[in-house]
Structure 1
Amino acid sequence: MPMNAVYRGPADLPQVIPVFPLAGALLLPRGQMPLNIFEPRYLAMIDDALTDRHRLIGMIQPDQTQGHDNDHPTLFRVGCVGRITQLAESGDGRYVLQLTGIARFRVEEELSVSTPYRQCRVTFSPYAIDFKARHGEEGVDRKAVVDVLTAFLKAKKLKADWDGINNAPNEALVNALAMMSPYGVAEKQALLEALDLKTRAEILVAITEMELAKSDDSGETPLQ
């Protein structure tokens, strides 16, 4: 999705961003994530983000291996920042919005703040390649991605928009499938932290093949 703002590199983004911890939520560069915001602290976060020209929210997963403090969970060190590109008021106190991913970040420090939501000092420098659309597409084994998607859809008895899939560039295809994948926190974090698009596609294929193998072994969702 095109944005009014243009981010060419790490220097174009602020060093301090609000973060939204959400398990299982994977945002990737140029991906679109719908959000339904209803908690007061996150409504305040959206209100404050809208007053800033960047309109940024950092999506990050709680690290559930480090305890289970629901109010203040330990965070993974890597997330992805997105810009609010669509927003609607529901009429019952909620915001329905869409984030468009810009770049991944690494948390350098969580700040002590007076806001009800959390804020972190971050760096985008390790992920400078995220600012280059379609970077590394030529390295993706598209056939392997499509083959495992076909097997997954068949096993789960699901349908797909094959015209859209066949016409999607490699980056859009891999990132959309990764974001929509029904996998757990650890798998989503691995997909997020993949070195490049080629590696992300390989991880996606490997995770899906393992899931299909487990289903096949159990006899629940045979491929044949």
Structure 2
Amino acid sequence: MFQAANLPSSLPVFPLSGALLLPRAPLPLHIFEPRYLVMLDDTLKSSHRLIGMVQPVQSADTSGGLNNVGCAGRVTGFSETDDGRYMITLTGISRFRITDETESFAAYRKCDVSWDGFDRDLGAREHDDGLDRQKFFSLLGRFLETNELQSDWDSLREADDEMLINSLAMLCPFKPEEKQALLEAPSLIARRETLIALFEYAVRGGSGQEVMQ
């Protein structure tokens, strides 16, 4: 298990719009670009096996910019295809804040990072005592219907608070800036509140009417 003292001060980063990784959650990825194949090979040789998932800045005025906050994941599973591509699983360890981009001869990007302010990511699983599951699932059902999506309701009902909220945050088809807001939520409760706001906004089609009852 990682502790703050043994987290690295720099990370290889994988900018991927719309991809959200959260602490203790798994994220499957398909790696095929040559520079990221090199990144993965280098990561597997490292002692920590961490990759920083970060979203590019969504702006017409910014080219190549990165959001300041990302989440580091440890490579916990991988397989290689016959044509040299990788299917990997990252398990979220902790969020980080980018302090600088490192100059490097590597084909992929590296950043200096700070782990300050994300102590809870390395702790025990979070709980949300204020979660009203009946109302939450009712709103989720309307969100899924609005977006013509389906879900495994049995698995959702059996999931603990953290798995339920974080899985929905990662899997639901939100915009990149909305995914970033979910990532930066300071607690599980704040992430649930952000999720509810996004569900309500989608259900009401952008109107100001409150719909969760």
Normalising to structure 1: TM-score of the pair?
Answer: 0.87
1:28 matched to 2:22? The reply is: yes
Amino acid in the other structure paired with 2:57: D
1:44 matched to 2:38? The reply is: yes
Deviations 1:146-188 (Å, cap 9, x if unpaired)?
2221212233443322221111000000000000010111100
Q: What is the Cα deviation at residue 190 of structure 1?
A: 0.3
1:81 matched to 2:102? The reply is: no
- What CA RMSD, in Å, does the superposition of the two structures yield over aligned residues? 1.8
Q: What is the Cα deviation at residue 21 of structure 1?
A: 0.4
Q: Where does structure 1 differ by over 4 angstroms across 4 or more consecutive aligned residues?
A: none
**Overall identity of the aligned pairs, in %:** 46
* 1:121-200 aligned within 5 A: 121-200=112-191
Q: Quick check: 2:72–2:92 contact (8 Å CA) kept in 1?
A: yes
Q: Quick check: 2:21–2:92 contact (8 Å CA) kept in 1?
A: yes
Q: Quick check: 1:67–1:74 contact (8 Å CA) kept in 2?
A: no
Deviations 1:74-133 (Å, cap 9, x if unpaired)?
000000000011100011121111111111000111111111111111111211111123
Aligned residue pairs total 208
Q: Quick check: 2:19–2:170 contact (8 Å CA) kept in 1?
A: yes
CA distance in 2, matches of 1:141, 1:44: 45
Deviations 1:192-221 (Å, cap 9, x if unpaired)?
0001100100101101110111189xxxxx
Relative to 1, partners in 2 of residues 1:195 and 1:143: Cα closer, same or farther, differing over 3 Å?
A: farther
Deviations 1:27-47 (Å, cap 9, x if unpaired)?
001111111111111000000
Could you tell me which of 86, 108, 114 is aligned with 2:99?
Answer: 108
CA distance in 1, matches of 2:27, 2:146: 26
CA distance in 2, matches of 1:128, 1:141: 27
Unaligned runs of 5+ in 2: 208-213
CA distance in 1, matches of 2:93, 2:137: 25
